[in-house]
Amino acid sequence: VCNFAAGPAVLPENVLLKAQSELYNWRGSGMSVMEMSHRGKEFSSIIQKAESDLRSLLEIPPEYAVLFLQGGATTQFAAVPLNLCRPDDPVDYLVTGSWGDKAFKEAQKYCKAKVVWSGKAEKYTKIPSFGDVEQDPDAKFLHICANETIHGVEFKNYPVPKNKSGLLVADMSSNFCSKPVDVSKFGVIYAGAQKNVGPSGVTIVIVRKDLIGNAQGITPVMLDYKIHADNASLYNTPPCYGIYMCGLVFEDLLEQGGLKEVEKKNKNKAELLYRTIDDSKGFYRCPVEASVRSLMNVPFTLEKSELEAEFIKEAAKEKMVQLKGHRSVGGMRASIYNAMPLAGVEKLVAFMRDFQARHA
């Protein structure tokens, strides 16, 4: 099938086949990666290679630690404020969708979090011009969600934090490794793996090393960046198989020529889909302002909304699945992560044109 799910999502076929070929016996070890001690030499080589390949892909500077954690991006909504501020510290949240809003609400429990801008009144279809956002100079950090998975709104460039520490923090769950990123602009980047880089169960945190070691006293050990950094992500049993799968994806992305090449492919796919929507004379509509449309998650509606269920049903018959929009917004959503081939998007737009011809 062509799987347009928002996450867990499609993974590269060659990666899955490689994992299959090593499932019972990883490289002559006589063990599956699932059966290995996380402290043995085999798994050590797997996690070290995964980290080093991710560092190459994103050109992560040496002053940043890379952590492979659990708990999803949702756990980071709490871990970030717990690690970066005291309970009385103000922090700024720029809310461009439901995930940014969830991050803000969780942060309120651990610091004085404030929304400096929200796109809620406009149904999360925009990103403000940064000059219009009044930041608190005393804020410990400015938080953004780089790509809002549900609403399809993506930052194309990043706000400059105007707080004293100059810290920008980003949830990159749904556009992680989809394009190059200047990591040095961020204090913390975090992402659940299950969109672009692996199965669910792995959360990647890239954190500037000087920010580590200041966690609030109440911080559970599992949320303390220092514990994980000091133990090279092996304080407790990590999600070994998921990390192995992420490693295979990183290898594959490097073999594709790195993130510049990956971005070119993603732009091609997204342009084709948005063009089809925009050229449909209103039959299909994407509510998101054109300049901030996501390369990863493309929400769209039908002018005749009563046809949406039929659209989803017919698409599924043609083996295009998971096109239903998020339950909170309705309509349709095509998630076209790294591993969705151009042929999958071509098939979808051919179906869309045909559906329009039959129902316009």
Q: Choose which of 96, 125, 163, 174 interacts with ligand PLP (CB under 6 A).
A: 174
Nearer Cβ to ligand PLP (149/233): 149
Per-residue contact string for residues 91-120; x = within reach of ligand PLP by CB under 6 A:
--------x---------------------
Closer to ligand PLP by Cβ: residue 89 or 171: 171
- Residue placing its CB nearer to ligand PLP in the complex, 163 or 335: 335
How far is it, in rounded angstroms, from Cα 167 to Cα 140? 7
The residue within the footprint of ligand PLP, chosen from 149, 219, 276, 322 (CB under 6 A), is 149
Binding piece for ligand PLP, criterion CB under 6 A, among 22-30, 37-45, 57-65, 67-75: 67-75
CA neighbor of 81 nearest in space, from 111, 61, 60: 111
d(Cα 129, Cα 133) in Å, to the nearest integer? Answer: 7
The least CB distance from residue 7 to ligand PLP, in Å, is 5
Among 54, 107, 145, 348, binds ligand PLP (CB under 6 A): 145
Q: How many residues bind ligand PLP (CB under 6 A)?
A: 11
Name the residue among 247, 239, 225 with its Cα closest to residue 66. 225
Q: If you ran DSSP here, which 8-state letter would residue 205 be given?
A: E
The CB-nearest residue to ligand PLP is 72
Check the CA dihedral 226-228-231-236 and report its sign.
positive
Give whichever of 149 and 276 is closer to ligand PLP, judged by the CB atom: 149
**Contact status: 338 vs ligand PLP (CB under 6 A):** no
Catalytically annotated residues: 99, 171, 195
- 74 lines the binding site for ligand PLP (CB under 6 A): yes
* C-beta separation of 140 from 85 below 8 A: yes
Determine the interface stretch with ligand PLP among 70-78, 119-127, 253-261, 319-327 (rule: CB under 6 A): 70-78
Q: How far is the CB of 149 from ligand PLP (least distance, A)?
A: 3
Residue 177 to residue 190: CA distance in whole angstroms? 11
The DSSP string of 2-68 is EE--SSS----HHHHHHHHHTSSSGGGSSS-GGGS-TTSHHHHHHHHHHHHHHHHHHT--TTEEEEE
The nearer residue to ligand PLP, 159 or 242, going by C-beta atoms, is 242
Regarding 325 and contact with ligand PLP (CB under 6 A), the answer is: no
Residue 310 Ramachandran class (φ > 0 left, ψ -120 to 50 alpha, else beta): alpha
DSSP state string for 290-358: GGGB-SSEEEEEESSGGGHHHHHHHHHHTTEE--BPPTTT-SEEEE--TTS-HHHHHHHHHHHHHHHHH
Contacting ligand PLP within 175-234 (CB under 6 A): 192
- Cβ proximity to ligand PLP, 148 vs 252, nearer residue: 148
- Give me the residues that bind ligand PLP (CB under 6 A), please: 7, 72-74, 99, 145, 149, 171, 173-174, 192
